[in-house]
Structure 1
């Protein structure tokens, strides 16, 4: 298969993943309007254990299977990959069933870890058990989907994964919004019932994704079997050897990808039990947890998704440069990756922090406006930390040092566990935010050091660019503060609609100031000029002089 076709397939898959994430962000706004922040907290109680258990059940299977199948296909051995696929379907079905049973029957025992003594003030014991059990059903289907997606990707066919991801997300979201609206607004049922059925949307969406994959399979089954029959080699690997190789691919990838869910799982088991009684009532604590773990968190992921999408495209080229020992090109590529992340994420993080109150009010309404704006204001800069860890871990993967990324994550998690309850006791809801900063800082220090050592990378230029970016961001922040204060003086935020003008004007002013300073200094051209040539001021001047 040609490189251009592979690149096109990778771009399609990246676009589908990004679209799926955007859908996953947008639905949370109407969903919150239906069930409220307490309902969002309940949704998180079910989804966070499910996400971690799903990752453990699948162990990064799609990428690992695709690497395995691709490797043996390229050697003319289509049989080995197909044998892995067939045994993998059975294995994933068994692990999915075990994961489902574990989560379903553990639900009553998980509740005290989340809230020791739930009362009628917030979500009840039965509500939480019901929600966890409803989402657990998806574990029967999703692991099977993962191995089918990985097998198709091993043939360099990204379409089935891309289409199934998007369809899965659309079906899930439509089901969630339709069922919750019907239960709450038409049937006048409880929020607990509505949220429980909302988490069941993971299973319904998975059925939609699986239907797409099966359609592709039956269309391509004949072609795949023809390829198997034409195999020029058969390595005749034992299942033990195949799975050993598969796990070697999968474990580092899956563990690093679990970074954010693992941090959130620590918060899930410490947040309410630390704050209820000492600082807040159950209802107040659950609202704060919903903001911290879900609603504010969704806003924070927007710039992270944009920044990592642009920079992560460099990772395959970094792998190639490292493999071919092209040191100069490797230095340039790592420099460019860092620059893109800092250039996009630093101003976004600061801008979100300054505009926290109008942003939260515009997107989620004013019912929990004060606590939402307060937490978002301090939590927004974490988007820079999320982005830096994701990208530095990917660079380490590119230079074949993924074990260091795993060590870095473990170090961060240990610090998060050690400090979370202490900081929550000292600082209230912001304690969880601070503990996340501490953990991610430790992880990033390790990954940044490792890149410097193992890629022989110099940080002098990055340090200079970072200082310039921070200066421009500081100027931008002052401008946004003035615009925000002025807008709220002219148009006080008394309704959700009235929060939009302050947000929009603040974003426009911030973007104008930062882009103007970046363009005039040619920082934008140096960082993004290869992608957006109109930003390269020096080249334009040279053409003008010519």
Structure 2
């Protein structure tokens, strides 16, 4: 295989993984809405308490360890030996089994720490998916090491579809059979385990369908420049942390929010409902972040290619455009969501509860999307461990601020803490980007024209909604959906119109817009 063919295959694979990941994130966000509708805020709270644990297992199996294995395999001069493969799978198995055992044994203490002993069975069940992590990650990493991203992408989509379907079925049966809502936590863990099993079977199908010559066992002496544990476990954890920013911030709420609310006088049931209300913001924020960062993530492989080819000018332009596009999309989504949140809350969750807290939480979309985009650029520059460390700092900030704000402001305080934590992570990433690219010009933004475009969109949408709002509450849910889609469409058109007419986009950025044929220079 020629070098040019290898590069083409690598970047094609990068795009396949990117778009599969985006679709998976969209699925992961959307199903939480019917889940909350089926089980109410308390059932949704129980799910959200268990999800971070199974989410960590999924990220390790999808992003962390496969990336570490593929990097290790790509660095080998010869085909990996059977001995090396065995060492990798043994280390992954020992590490994942230890995590699973610790989580299982400590489940009662973790549940008590969360302020709800009823979560014990769900936390214990969430130890199961970790047992499948080594095998799923191993095959994904081996395929990725050969620049074959299709098995990873296919197994990811199958895993998400199976997991989402099983969770919704579990929620439906729990309600219909009048079972304890805590069964949703157990069902979530079982569904994640089922999704992982199907993903593993999908990978095995790809494995046994590959050309026979790839089955040849080539025994060669190989040397690894770095410690194998560090290369696989250490690097894999660093990669995973970079993909778990929102998950880890959510985990801090899972550990602290209910206990802190109970300390301020709320009963367990009241605290559960309030936590469930705040968790309504998670799928909406995730959808906004996915929409805002999707273009940026799709541009990363091209930016990396330009860096590798030493085309500094175009590389610099890619970085600046990636950052600006993310800001424009994230800000538009955030302002629109804030303006329409009472109606969005009513449509999706049947009640307009906790709107102020959720509006504040929505601001996270801007800073999280920018953090993801900036971190992705830094990853292309080899700053994996540093960006993971920044996420850890942000999580510590979130934890400390929860203890400070929640006793005074309740779930509004938790929302403020999440926003400040995401700002902290973004600031650290931007500072690091400045350090590692000293020749990179400061990313310039037409702030006045950009903010003016946001204001025009916000005023237009708010004004129309103010006038037509009585109609919204007269419609059924389908009518309410149509009403909101119309307002969102008007908001998008007015925002893009202002961005173009006020020359917010550069000429190069206008050339890549999907509607560029409508724009006259």
Question: What is the TM-score when the length of structure 1 is the normalising length?
Answer: 0.87
Q: CA deviation at 1:93?
A: 2.5
Give distance in 2, aligned partners of 1:480 and 1:103: 47
Corresponding residue of 2:359: 377
Secondary structure of the residue aligned to 2:210 is helix
The aligned residue for residue 122 of structure 1 is none
Aligned CA RMSD, in angstroms, stands at 2.6
Matches of 1:291 and 1:375, distance apart in 2: 9
Q: CA deviation at 1:220?
A: 2.2
Is contact 2:61-2:134 (8 Å) kept?
Answer: yes
Is 1:487 aligned with 2:491?
no
Give the deviation of 1:274 after TM superposition.
Answer: 0.9
Structure 1: state its 5+ residue gaps: 119-124, 542-546
Q: Which residue of 2 aligns with 1:189?
A: 179
**Per-residue deviation, 1:423:** 0.6
Corresponding position of 2:74: 70
How far apart are 1:54 and its partner, in Å? Answer: 6.2
- The alignment status of 1:288 with 2:292, answered yes or no, reads no
Q: Deviations over 1:282-320 (max 9, x none)?
A: 223222222333x31111111211222211233234334
Task: Identify the match of residue 319 of structure 2 among 327, 334, 358.
Answer: 334
- Name the structure, 1 or 2, with higher relative contact order (CA <8 Å, separation 6+): 2
**CA distance in structure 2 between the aligned counterparts of 1:290 and 1:459, rounded to whole angstroms:** 44
- Is 1:171 the equivalent of 2:162? yes
Question: Distance between the aligned counterparts of 1:526 and 1:426, measured in 2?
Answer: 49
2:210 is matched with which residue?
Answer: 220
Q: 1:21 aligns with which of 13, 21, 25?
A: 25
2-structure distance, mates of 1:88, 1:198 = 29
CA distance in 1 between partners of 2:370 and 2:246 (Å):
13
Aligned equivalent of 2:50, options 46, 50, 58: 46
Q: Would you say 1:430 and 2:412 are equivalent positions?
A: yes
Q: 1:241 to 1:270 in 2, by over 3 A?
A: closer
Residue 129 of structure 2: SS of its match in structure 1? helix
Q: Which residue of 2 aligns with 1:544?
A: none
Q: How does 1:220-369 map to 2 (within 5 A)?
A: 220=210, 222-226=212-216, 228-229=217-218, 234=220, 236-237=222-223, 241-247=227-233, 249-278=235-264, 280-293=266-279, 295-366=280-351, 369=352
Counterparts of 1:131 and 1:93, CA distance in 2: 23
Residue 391 of structure 2: aligned partner = 409
Quote the residue 1:439 is aligned against. Answer: 421
Q: Which moved more, 1:308-317 or 1:32-41?
A: 308-317
> Which one is further off, 144-153 or 480-489?
480-489
- Cα deviation for residue 207 of structure 1 reads 1.0
1:79–1:194 distance in 2 versus 1, CA, 3 Å: closer
Q: What is the alpha-carbon distance in structure 2 between the residues aligned to residue 535 and residue 29 of structure 1? A: 35
- Report deviation, 1:134: 2.1
CA-CA distance at 1:259 after TM superposition: 1.8
Number of aligned residues: 517
- Structure 2 stretches of 5 or more lacking a match? none
In the alignment, which residue of structure 1 is the partner of 2:142? 151
Distance 2:462 2:23 in 1: 32
Q: Distance in 2 between matches of 1:274 and 1:479?
A: 40
The answer on whether the counterparts of 1:38 and 1:286 sit within 8 Å (CA) in structure 2 is yes
Deviation at 1:154, TM superposition (A): 0.7
Mean Cα deviation higher: 146-155 or 46-55: 46-55
Contact 1:276/1:282, CA 8 A, preserved across alignment: yes
- Cα 1:198–1:448 change in 2 (3 A) is closer
3-state DSSP class of the match of 2:147?
coil
Which of 153, 161, 173 is equivalent to 2:152? 161
**Selected match of 1:514 from 495, 499, 502:** 495
CA deviation digits over 1:148-207, x for unaligned, max 9?
10111111111111111111111112222223322321x332322244223310111111
Measure, in 2, the Cα distance between the counterparts of 1:221 and 1:144.
Answer: 21
Between the aligned partners of 2:460 and 2:243, the Cα distance in structure 1 is: 37
Where do 4+ consecutive residues of structure 1 move more than 6 Å? 56-59
Q: CA deviation at 1:348?
A: 0.6
- Higher mean C-alpha displacement, 53-62 vs 410-419: 53-62
DSSP-derived class of the 1:456 partner: coil
Instruction: Name the CA distance, whole Å, in 1 between partners of 2:416 and 2:182.
Output: 31
Preserved CA contact (<8 Å) 1:515 1:524: no
CA contact (8 A) 1:519 1:537 kept: no
